[in-house]
Structure 1
Amino acid sequence: MPEVQSTLPSNTVLHLANPALPDYLPSSDEVNTAEHYPEKTLSIAFSTGDDVQSRQTIYEQGGSWRGINIVIDNNTLLLNAWSIEGDVVWGYKSLSAGIQPNSAYTATLTLTANESFTGSLTGYVNGESIGQLSSVGPLLAHANGIGLGETNDTTVFNGKVDASANTFYGTITSVVQYNSALQSQDIVALNQHQASTLPTPLGNAGESEAPQSLLSNEVFARGLEAWRKPDVIFEGAACANCHSPDGFDLAYFDFSRDDIIRRAAPHLDSEEDMRAIADMIEYVRDYYGIAAPKDPRTFRPFQPGGGVLPGQDRFARDKALGEYFKARGFRFANTPVLSLEEAKTQRDEWKQLDVRDIPIGIELPLWSLDGFHGEQQVSLNDWLPSLPRLPKAETLNQWYALQDVYIANPSDENFYNYYNAIDKDRIFLTRKENNLQLTEQPFTGSGNWLSSSKFKSVQFASHLFRQEYIDGAQTREARPITGFALTADNKIHEPGAVSNPMWTVGDFFRVKDGDSEIQMPTQAPFPEGLADTYLPYNQEAEKAKVEWFMLGWLFDPALTKTCCGNPAKTGEYFHDALSRSTEIGALMTELGRAPSTSFPLHNTYIFTKKTIDKNYAPYAINQIERYGCDLDDCNQAGSFNISSSNFFSYKKHVKNIPSAIDYPAQREMYILNTLNSIRMLFYLVEERMDNNQGINHSRVLAKLNEASVFFGATADENPHYAHDIALKQRVIAKLNEALL
């Protein structure tokens, strides 16, 4: 290819004129295979075609781990540099400008870098700066060939690896590259040369019609710098060490500018930084089109069915659940199970029931409580952690680089890449160790367990909040993902391999509900008033335990991804918390613990849905088939089982029957719903035995014996008692015979 005959700043390492497109250029030490490049300048003179909407590669070098490119996507010109995996990680940096079809442009990027990651990426379109991004490190070697007018192997768009060709529909008149970062006078000379090669005058470049990354905005970049700035307490924590990577959680809720600045004040010593964070949050709202942020004092994330069921106390709200099922014609709340046909009909009804649509009488936690608004707002029972999760000093740049990739492109894949780097916990059910731990807890004390689990929960919830506003418009209500998500392969970063952090918060409160206090972190000052919530602690922990277990269950009704220890994994402790009978509640009050939290109808609902999902829901069955199971009560693939449950143990399902004097309507509904659940299981077990299908005989026998105690306890109120006893005797006899 002939060189351009024109005066240019000297020392070019690549210099092409009017190349045929597409073309693949060989690698060389001058361009991409030397050990590292502390500086680069890349400039392209090009004309667009009719299409500037579709994704197109003008120039790219590097690959999935590191590289630079100039590309088009969605009426936007992107100048990108990245190093997102390997020995040196500093993230994905992207600058953008709007462009038009059938127009001529010059695009130039300069990169300066050093080992302390304080370099920069600067972009120019038609000779005018479009911005500068900081925290850039060296660009290491990459052996992939260079793509001109088309991707050669792989490149990165918006933080995500892309292996498509992405052919450019325009023309290129000049390509120039230097292994130095040209300064102002040379940038002017370079642009004049590039413009002289174009057949028409330069087109109009302006703000991107659809910005591809928050990172390219100066207001956001300044706020993010303050968001990640170590504060004056908590061992140098930053806002980003308790919240979402870019403050989306604060943008999603209607925290006022004054609230944001006030709550930042104890952490930052610069009013300028506080205002920059508030500016960033406001920009994030505008960027995602959040026109009506949620009220943080009333909105309860993931509360199913649109709101809490009515009622002045837990008993009234529990009764309201039974009335909800009955009024909407659910068969299990209206029709007794007296045949296999009816049992299968109700089984199918349970299979189709979506827990995200059913309102409940249990209030889920608010996002952030704030004692500034009253004593009732001082509590540990909210989403935000009280202690930070800090990046390790030696991996700080790698941690924020993963977050930058996610901010630029908030896909599920990019989310789990940084989420799974939070700690070194065993990725549940994959039987693999996660060796990428980029953060740590800087304090001692049991509060670390709570705060670490909350930090993970905040990341997960914020990711779901964001999905409502992808593409700048509210597309769907944030809802739990039933069973999380399963991918086709067995990657350590797959969503299906992540345990349930909300459930783990509930287990923390379960462990602590008998303590007189939480062990205070020995090195951590707490915000004023917060420490007081640790003493006394019992009543708050009892309430929080139920709410967080419920929240975790909504994300995984079969409890296939819960942690830790068999009783927690199988729901034993959750059912126990829901089974606090009046008698037990009186004893707890006498002992100074929380009063009864009994939710009998909720308990039957949760037990039945959990059991049906564990045996029939594809997400639960697929998980067992792919990973096996190490739980005592877990189904083997194709084997029917009844989940181990404190709902039956110690006759709690009997002791939990509401009082005939105080709660007659609730008692009637509870008896019918629970009888139907037990009858249905007897019939389903019998059918599987008659058809020689898989069944865990010994455990099912034990559980059906425990369950059938309910038949005798309700005999005087059960017009079908004779049927139930005959059903029990027949199925138990078959199970006993199978065990001989």
Structure 2
Amino acid sequence: MRRSIGVAAGVWLWTACNGGDGSTEAGTGDPASASAATATEPDLTGATSGPTGSTTTPTTSVDSTSDPITGDPTGDPTGDPTEGTTGEPGDPVDYPPELLCPPAGDDRCGPPYDPSDPLGPDQLEQALQLGLDTWRFPGIRGACAGCHSPDGYDLARVGFSDDAIVRRALDHVDDAQAAVLVDYVHALRQKHQLTELLHPAKFRPLQPGHLPWPETTPGLDVTDPQAQDERDEAFMRHLLDDRQLLLAGGTVDSLEQAHQAYDELHAIDLTQLRLGLPFDLLSEDGFYGAPHLSVFEWYPGMASAPKPGMEGAFFAVVDQYLADPGDDGKLWAYYDAIAGMTDCVDPLDGMGDPQYYRRACNWMRLKWRSLQTFSHQLRNERHDYPDFLVDQAGPVQQHTALAADRIAIWHAGDFLRVQPLMRTDDNACFAGDDDPCTLLPPPVDDTIHSEPTYQEARIKQSQVFQQSWFLMAWVRDPALLLSGDDFATIVGDYIEAVLLPHYDIHHAFLVAKLAVAKSAAADWFDVADVRQGHGKIASVRTFSFKQLRNNFSHPPGGDPRFATHQRMFANFARMWLYLVEEDLALSGAVYDRQEVLRACRFMRTWFIDLEGAEDPVMNDLMLSIEALAAAADELRSDVHRDAFPGTGLQPTGTWDEFDQPYQG
């Protein structure tokens, strides 16, 4: 029997859309083109027992009790929380008390189910049926079902208050219908025995470890640079004090320590690594103050609905899912139907263009589709992502397009990278074909604050949304092998770029963890596309240097993060040079000799900047790498290089200074 694909397996992805309008939502990875049959077991990351050549004996070992899909150890060698967070399918999620509505009550929370005061069977059934009908009622700007889960389970499990439900509902339905919806949410809480509710102002879906590290200065907005710096520093303290990570706090000065640093990074389950970067709440609501006037949320501001004439067919698929909501296959039947059978309800016309707000619609639908898969996890108390190959045959390497279609989180973030909510004056919206923007219709645009200015607020919110949604995708796809077919996506260019302004420690950690994950993805080594070459240390695929090529982006010199930031990059270079030499010696092979040598020569130069002087040991190591690489077998064929030009080190064409061998 094929394994279910877990969160740690690394799949929350979408094919990167880099066209002018990014509106390729429908038709990507058409599920009809894939055969439905029993599939073989996929290995999503190709994680092995350590860094190795493509066919050589592993040179680093990790705990033998490892996850069968990802290769991550199932023990807790690095300080990950373990109670109730094993991540195994079927394990209930044990949320920390801080995320729950308090038993004494809270103005933001509605009432949980009280087993001592239940509705009778007939009353319950009536409330559920009338409520579902109202949930689907096509009110003003769409039905509730067009922005939420198909039955409202999200409002039941996350304890939105009765007042909030009524207030938000009245934007779409009348008073009587709003009252029905409140009764419906209560009935859902009884049906699902929800005696404890998640706090709507605290619960952040998919947040690793459930809670982000907080800033130290109270009251700062999530987009405030100071808040981002402070959360980044808190993450640094966690790496140093709680995890005692060698990469951050020691010095890698031997091959043994290079293995230790690698193993520590390899052992970290990103889905349990508490980050300083907060993920989105399900809902932001300006009723609670200006900081909540934001698009930094899961719920779309534009509802979708069945296209005319497709109502019956669409809701038949939805009802089949709701009759058995634990079935991943029925989820995908419903999910797949969204692309072809539904569209936005809001008018899209403006400024004489009937599709003026089409980009906003497409972006909102990516959020909505992401919400469906998350709601499936929430209702089933699952850590693992729904098995997107449950109805397919063959390994995951054959289904990257289907993954892209069925897993939308990365692309929801990438959508605003390509077409942000606003641009700067010197790069204005629509100044050229390469400058599109996602313009929001007035009812949605009015929900976003304009401080300090309209332009700056929307630029910042575009950036923060990308940070959150790119990180949400990466923690489940640590090698970035399924987040998109675009080469810049695969090498981590976009995710690094959104971290650099203030999340410097997060960025340094990502560079190292990404390299480890890519080097461990052995099952992807022989694929025919741009992913070829993963699964080996001495391979160009392990290097993500575009953002580092001309700027380490250090924190300011007096910043408490400065020394650790330098140490993390210096140790990454030390670790990798030791391991590249070892891989070359053991395997006698290299994947893209010229690019690996360029990368190693580049890293050798880091020590002057990072440590104040060259290191004679590292210089000797580089001399050895030069000799070993010159004699190594080349594993990247000319045919592959010609078929995928420019898929070496990025940025392409800037590495000439590292063409000459290092001679001491």
TM over 0.5: yes
Contact 2:570 2:611 in 1 (8 A): no
Give 3-state SS (helix, strand or coil) of 2:209's partner.
helix
Deviation of 1:603 after TM superposition, in Å, equals 0.8
Residues of 1 paired with 2:291 and 2:130: CA distance? 35
Contact 1:220 1:280 in 2 (8 A): yes
Contact persistence 1:402–1:418 (CA under 8 A): yes
Q: Which residue of 1 aligns with 2:150?
A: 245
Cα distance 1:217–1:479, how it changes in 2: closer, same or farther (>3 A)? same
Amino acid at match of 1:566: F
Tell me how far apart the structure 1 counterparts of residues 525 and 336 of structure 2 sit (CA, whole Å).
22
Show the counterpart of 1:229.
137
Matches within 5 A, 1:187-336: 217-233=125-141, 237-268=142-173, 270-312=174-216, 313-327=227-241, 328-336=243-251
1:396 to partner: Cα distance: 2.4
Q: CA separation of 1:734/1:539 partners in 2, compared to 1, >3 Å: closer, same or farther?
A: same
Asked if residue 413 in structure 1 is aligned to residue 326 in structure 2, the reply is no
Contact 2:233 2:561 in 1 (8 A): yes
Conserved 8 A contact 1:648-1:707: no
Between the aligned partners of 1:404 and 1:494, the Cα distance in structure 2 is 27
Distance in 2 (alpha carbons) for counterparts of 1:419 and 1:673: 42
Distance in 2, matches of 1:737 and 1:307, equals 50
Is the contact between residue 214 and residue 407 of structure 1 (CA under 8 Å) also seen in structure 2? no
Return the letter of the residue paired with 1:707: M
Moved more, 352-361 or 721-730: 721-730
8 Å CA contact 2:403–2:482 kept in 1: the answer is yes
**Take 1:624 and 1:252, find their aligned partners in 2: how far apart are those partners?**
42
* Structure 1 residues 441 and 633: alpha-carbon distance in aligned structure 2, compared to 1, 3 A threshold: farther
- Contact 1:390–1:440, Cα closer than 8 Å, also in 2: yes
User: Structure 1 residue 374 and structure 2 residue 289: aligned?
Assistant: yes
What code does the residue aligned with 2:276 have? G
> TM-score normalized by structure 1?
0.58
The corresponding residue for 1:551 is 472
- Contact residue 369 and residue 382 of structure 1 kept, 8 A: yes
Match of 2:554 in 1: 657
Q: Which structure features the higher share of strand residues? A: 1
Shift of 1:540: 1.8
Structure number, greater radius of gyration: 1
Partner of 1:683: 578
Q: Secondary structure at the match of 2:139?
A: coil
Match of 1:344 in 2: 259
Which secondary structure does the structure 2 equivalent of 1:385 belong to? coil
Please report how far the alpha carbon of residue 607 of structure 1 lies from its aligned counterpart in structure 2 after TM superposition.
1.8
Counting aligned pairs with the same residue, the percent is: 25
Instruction: Report Cα offsets for 1:12-60 as digits up to 9, x if no partner.
Output: xxxxxxxxxxxxxxxxxxxxxxxxxxxxxxxxxxxxxxxxxxxxxxxxx
**1:638 positional shift:** 10
Residue by residue over 1:192-227, the C-alpha shift from the partner in whole angstroms, topping out at 9 and shown as x without a partner, is: xxxxxxxxxxxxxxxxxxxxx999933212111111
Quick check: 1:708–1:728 contact (8 Å CA) kept in 2?
A: yes
Match of 1:562 among 478, 483, 498: 483
Unpaired segments ≥5 residues, structure 2: 1-31, 33-120, 217-226, 349-354, 430-435, 635-664
- Superposition RMSD in Å: 3.6
Relative to structure 1, the CA distance from residue 520 to residue 641 in structure 2 (aligned partners, 3 Å threshold; closer, same or farther) is closer
Match of 1:571 in 2: 492
Give matches, 1:93-112, under 5 Å: none
Matched, 1:510 2:417: yes
| Structure 2 letter corresponding to 1:349 | E
SS at match of 1:394: coil
Residues 734 and 637 (structure 1), Cα distance of their counterparts in 2 relative to 1, 3 Å cut: closer
Q: Which amino acid aligns with 1:373?
A: Y
Q: Match of 1:309, as an amino acid?
A: W
Distance 1:378 1:403 in 2: 32
Contact kept in structure 1, 2:588 and 2:631, CA below 8 Å = no
**Take 1:702 and 1:286, find their aligned partners in 2: how far apart are those partners?**
62
Give how far 1:497 is off: 4.1
Shift of 1:709: 3.4
The corresponding residue for 2:541 is 642
Letter in 1 for 2:251: P
C-alpha deviation, 1:479, in angstroms: 4.4
Alignment of 1:16-31 (within 5 A): none
- In the alignment, the residues of structure 1 paired with residue 439 and residue 233 of structure 2 have an alpha-carbon distance, to the nearest angstrom, of 41
Distance 2:399 2:325 in 1: 15
Residue deviations 1:279-313 (CA, integer Å, cap 9, x gap): 22222222222222222222222222242224333
- Answering whether residue 366 of structure 2 is matched by residue 453 of structure 1, we say yes
1:602 positional shift: 0.7
Does the residue aligned with 2:271 lie in a helix, a strand or coil? coil
- Aligned-pair CA distance for 1:399: 2.0
Q: Indicate if the aligned counterparts of 1:457 and 1:502 stay in contact, CA closer than 8 A.
A: yes
The aligned residue for residue 447 of structure 2 is 530
Question: Structure 1's 323 and 637: CA in aligned 2 closer, same or farther, altered over 3 A?
Answer: closer
Q: Aligned to 1:440, what secondary structure does the other structure show?
A: strand
Q: Which residue of 2 aligns with 1:426?
A: none
Larger mean Cα displacement after TM superposition, 682-691 or 701-710: 701-710
Cα shift at 1:243: 0.7
Residue 309 of structure 2 aligns to a residue whose secondary structure is helix
Contact 2:409 2:470 in 1 (8 A): yes
Give the SS at the match of 1:390. Answer: strand
Is the 2:416–2:438 Cα contact (8 Å) retained in structure 1?
no
Where structure 1 has 5 or more consecutive residues not aligned to the other structure, the ranges are 1-85, 87-212, 424-436, 469-477, 581-597
| Paired position in structure 2 for 1:542 | 463
